[in-house]
Structure 1
């Protein structure tokens, strides 16, 4: 097959993994448009070039005009002012298309395997053997990552390991959906292959490494193990009477490879424990220290500021190679025009995606006690200053407070810097300026104004951090055994202990936890509509607090089945305590205003004109501003929404007559109709 591979390689010539290199080495090569597979994939550099293009195609990283990876929008912990369709009645509907059901990246990866594996096994690829193996390992990792993304969205999937001929019958046959547990097993197998190949070499952390593969394996196994456990007996787990896959002949003899649904759950959780331990044992002593300090003194060097709080600096540094906790990161460059806008948004309202009351209230005091516990020392939430006092150092450091300096090193390049945090700008109409909840984070900030040009930030993006392995181990072990072992204790104390001033003994928090209080603002307090036990909850709380605003929350809510309660008890997302007695928050904000905004009465009138009414709640409700008629009764849920609907057109195309959906080898996901423009049935 003389497939033209120009399309596959063009994006790979500038970037070496997530690191930046010159492309001069490639200028004397034959034009890629003229290269056929038999002329390519013959040496180490060919493999590297092909791998390079996959980094930005497959993996998450900061993109321009956004808050980058630092967002958990449309969840209970972060929200903009727009209620997502999935939380409303009838707004999310089936469609002929679904852009998430695309296979281009997987096809690109399979093309590599079709043309490399046989040559590799025959010793036909020149170069450093360890490096050649490494690049093949990267491609197994990429395929696993791509499949994991789609499994989370659609559940059951076709398992395709090679490029397919352009023949209708072959493509239709390949469209048969494997049960999700078999897809997950396939992903784990790819990651095992990746690990064995990657561990042969030692490369910069801008490239995938063996520990990254094991960390992803623990993530996938934990996801699938907890998903199948929490959805046991429902249409979302293969083999049940309601599972839509049972309608297809090719699934008629389905059985769990482990022997039963319960054994399959155990398999995945055991795999999660084993994979997480490999990474955690190496990582437990190298977590970055959070000193609890937000640097505020001007006149120092950037290196001095970063040393004041290495943990905080890790999220906004130019070079993450000095942070051993970061297993994989992406480098940016102003010189090469590879930029983002994260620092600008970290100094403002986080692209209009505010942190919620539920997130903030869920952080304990520094003494480990929940804010409602007797003797906690909680100072209330009538001002943001009080909210931060004596709290968990993660909240103290990341939650911005009016009057704090965002910039400590001046630069003429900082055209869009916000030197001092001011009043949350509820009234702004653009996402670039708006504060939706009154709470905003500094995750991703650097005090250097040189990184505050409009869309010209070049701070690095952490893609995989090893602390996740410790959290994955704790959760997987508890879900597997219903108790904690010595390693759970060691890892949990390591996670908390790196935050200076935080009570390291998690038992202090567990013993003081009142689940009915936690359930008021944290959806993670539920599974299948029922409130969970305090140990299980605090494992989830620790995960949320450690990984907040890094894109984990939605996946966690789904696998925990933590949205059922919204079906019968819709909830409003809330932010800061704006309308408290005596207008204390308004008076507090006015101290940091100028002109009319320094006058509490005028400031109040301005804010009242755009945010939710005090008669609804003393707390800002971002979805209810401007006399909104949306979600009057709060956010609700439908069971179908745990997975995305399959694209109807794809079902039609794979039917023998090209039309009859019921004859397609594909089937619709639970509780979604097989006709376009229809809402969920349940």
Structure 2
């Protein structure tokens, strides 16, 4: 048996590789032959709609997209990712993330549909047909961008490939990452040429504005990655770039002439495509009142309800969203999770303290005195976004349909900190979000919530433009109107809405806990650029973009020499400590929902439930350091350069080698600082 038939079919269209239920992952069944399949536009739409599932949206039994910043300096659970340790992330024979299934299947559908369209054999509205083809170009770009972030250099596949070893091996050649990004951008341009004008379709479908926003995201990512990783093996022609060892990349030259020019090429695309969207929406962004409703008679906060609803069709700035429907069984668990501890994902102290005070100044340089003696203090006189999204004990969680949900938590309790508690109820840091909350008991039936999922939001376009344009021009004046629009929508007023207020009050020597304050291991010296990053961090809170930003900014090098200790709320020597000692109801636990007596449970043993101030030398909760016996992270989080990208699976080298045994004979190459043998850690 030929090895490639079972091992490199990841690049081939092979019906034997898929589940019988996933009909889109195989050629049409015998009773629906290619001659008759896709004979009508409605069939094309049905196929395209299935691929919408590749986009990141809420799943069940989780905090949905609101928890996707987990494992960063914004959000954390009790167990750090192995990438922040030493010797915990190893090469392996396989890696499920090296999966081409979606790209392959989209390519197959594109080829088939375009051939039939050009032959005139698909009946129905041809404008709709072209729009659906545009959807496929976008969705392929979406999948490719996910792969680009994981791997960097990639094969560029324009079409599905036959199950032929020679063709598959040739197609496995990794193209330089900037060429992959150019391919993605070009595919998005193809989508734009085919799509009907904005407003033709509901925003539950991909629209030109969503495409342009995503285009700006991709271009900003690649432009900044090239900028901050220049002079390293992570970019083409950098010293030690592994692609240079392969003949097909040995003489590679940037289309623009240099890595600096290539970076600016992408930044220019990012700025222009972002501006196209930003200019349309910056005057109509929903404004945060700074207050959360606590009863049915309280006025709605338009900004809060961007996420706290089950229908986003009337929210102009939401460019693409997913609808959930209980009768169809398309549901999530957001309301239950929001009323509890965010499914074991908490905000970090560093993130909470990075938000400004209400006067637009950092906590260390404000007329308001910052206090973290209680969670209510933390939310007082703060950035209006933090004020509405940080849950505070005693706040009302449910005032609609009270009593109709089997998992209601009507009033926000004192946080349940126990590290050995179940994820559904636990608060790893003590700080939890109510982003996505609907205050609705009927939505708190376990696993039956219909909270709508925002996929793209116009405000990101303003932030993308601000960063890209500033990097290109170093001119604050170009971006100030956009920045003020973001600030005003966030709820700042007066001088606080002026970014210059923040810039003037910023002391970079005190900005140490924000990983985004660094690039290439060095603290940023430009306070404007830093505060653009801060604004992005706070405005896109819990929207799943933080890891992408940290990666492209090269914002983790400093952890190589200075470990990070992730912290949560200020527990010890504050009134909150008493929450867990007192036992007013006589149930044997403190009033902090069962955490118990810390004198017994914070000794650093495997039985401990919370970190010890004596062992960690900190009065703040350290969710990774409650167990100081069997703990790879008791000395904090560190970093290794290799971890910016994933290691290529060793199996792929063997599959594509001419003798199926020698790694060096493969057209593939390993990512920087990763070995080409299994079960080995990063080399640097």
Question: TM-score if structure 2 supplies the norm length?
Answer: 0.92
Structure 2 match to 1:319: 311
The answer for the alignment partner of 1:449 in structure 2 is: 441
1:131 alignment counterpart: 128
**Does the 8 Å CA contact 2:580/2:596 hold for their aligned counterparts?**
no
Q: How many Å apart are 1:164 and its aligned residue?
A: 0.9
CA distance in 1 between partners of 2:640 and 2:590 (Å): 45
| Distance in 2 (alpha carbons) for counterparts of 1:9 and 1:481 | 54
State how far apart, in whole Å, the 2-side matches of 1:410 and 1:463 are: 28
Once the two structures are superposed, the pairs formed by residues 65-214 of structure 1 within 5 Å of their partners are 65-71=61-67, 72-200=69-197, 202-214=200-212
Worse overlay, 121-130 or 527-536: 121-130
1:55 partnered with 2:47: no
8 Å contact from structure 1 (residues 411, 450) kept in 2 = yes
Which runs of no fewer than 5 residues in structure 1 stay unpaired?
Answer: 14-30
* Matching residue of 2:248: 250
For residue 310 of structure 1, give the secondary structure of its aligned residue in structure 2: coil
Contact 1:6 1:33 in 2 (8 A): no
The answer on whether the counterparts of 1:141 and 1:213 sit within 8 Å (CA) in structure 2 is yes
1:433-448 alignment runs, 5 A limit: 433-448=425-440
Secondary structure of 1:624 counterpart: coil
**Cα deviations across residues 511-538 of structure 1 (Å, max 9, x unaligned)?**
111112112x100000000000211110
Q: 2:504 aligns with which of 493, 508, 511?
A: 511
Assess if the C-alpha contact under 8 Å between 1:316 and 1:343 holds in 2. no
Q: Which moved more, 1:599-608 or 1:391-400?
A: 599-608
The match for 1:569 among 562, 566, 576 is 562
Is the Cα–Cα contact under 8 Å of residues 134 and 197 in structure 1 kept in the other structure? Answer: yes
Matches of 2:357 and 2:47 in 1, distance apart? 49
Match for 1:386 among 370, 374, 377?
377
CA contact (8 A) 1:5 1:36 kept: no
SS of equivalent residue, structure 1 residue 38: coil
Q: Is contact 2:72–2:547 with CA below 8 Å preserved after alignment?
A: yes
2-structure distance, mates of 1:293, 1:657: 66
1:27 corresponds in structure 2 to none
Mind listing any 5+ residue stretches in structure 2 that lack a counterpart?
1-11, 603-607
1:422 aligns with 2:420: no
Q: What does residue range 402-413 of structure 1 map to in structure 2 within 5 Å?
A: 402-413=393-404
Q: Match of 1:40?
A: 37
Output the CA distance in 2 between the equivalents of 1:468 and 1:33: 46
Report if the CA contact (8 A) 2:244-2:251 is conserved. no
Could you give the per-residue CA deviations for residues 478-535 of structure 1, whole angstroms, max 9, x where no partner exists?
122222233x11110010101234521011001111112112x100000000000211
Moved more, 441-450 or 279-288: 279-288
Please name the residue that 1:24 is paired with.
none
The separation in 2 between residues aligned to 1:345 and 1:398, in whole angstroms, is: 14
CA contact (8 A) 1:422 1:593 kept: no
Does 1:535 pair with 2:528?
yes
- Of 256, 264, 267, 2:265 maps to 267
In structure 2, the CA distance between the partners of 1:310 and 1:32, relative to structure 1 (3 Å rule), is farther
Contact 1:425 1:434 in 2 (8 A): yes
**Do the aligned residues in 1 keep the contact of 2:360 with 2:492 (CA within 8 Å)?**
no
Helix, strand or coil at the partner of 2:497: coil
Deviation readout 1:44-88 (Å, 9 max, x if unpaired)? 1111011010011x1000001100000211111111010210010
Greater Cα shift, 1-10 or 443-452: 1-10
Structure 1 residue 587 corresponds to structure 2 residue 578: yes
- State the SS of the aligned residue for 2:321: strand
Q: More deviation in 227-236 or 413-422?
A: 413-422
Structure 1 position 571, deviation (Å): 1.0
Q: 1:2 to 1:103 in 2, by over 3 A?
A: closer
Tell me how far apart the structure 2 counterparts of residues 320 and 622 of structure 1 sit (CA, whole Å): 35
Alpha-carbon offset, residue 133 of structure 1? 1.1
| Counterpart mapping for 1:463-612 below 5 A | 463-486=455-478, 488-502=479-493, 503-519=496-512, 521-532=513-524, 533-580=526-573, 583-587=574-578, 594-595=585-586, 596-597=588-589, 604-605=598-599, 608=602, 609-612=608-611
> Per-residue displacement from partner, 1:251-271 (whole Å, max 9, x unpaired)?
122110111111101100000
Equivalent pair of 2:13/2:160 in contact (CA under 8 Å): no
Deviation at 1:127, TM superposition (A): 1.4
Q: CA deviation at 1:605?
A: 4.3
RMSD of equivalent CA atoms: 2.3
Q: Deviations over 1:285-341 (max 9, x none)?
A: 2212211111112x44xxxx6x51121112121100011111111111111111111
- Secondary structure at the aligned position of 1:135 is classed as helix
- How far did residue 376 of structure 1 move? 2.8
On the 8 A contact 2:414/2:591 being kept in 1, the answer is no
SS of 1:327 mapped into structure 2: strand
Give per-residue Cα distances to partners, 1:73-131, cap 9 Å, x unaligned: 11111110102100101000000101011001001101112112233234442211221
Which residue pairs with 1:276 in the alignment? 274
How far apart in 1 are the matches of 2:533 and 2:455? 21
Q: Is 2:341 the counterpart of 1:349?
A: yes
Moved more, 629-638 or 667-676: 629-638
Q: Secondary structure at the match of 1:394?
A: helix
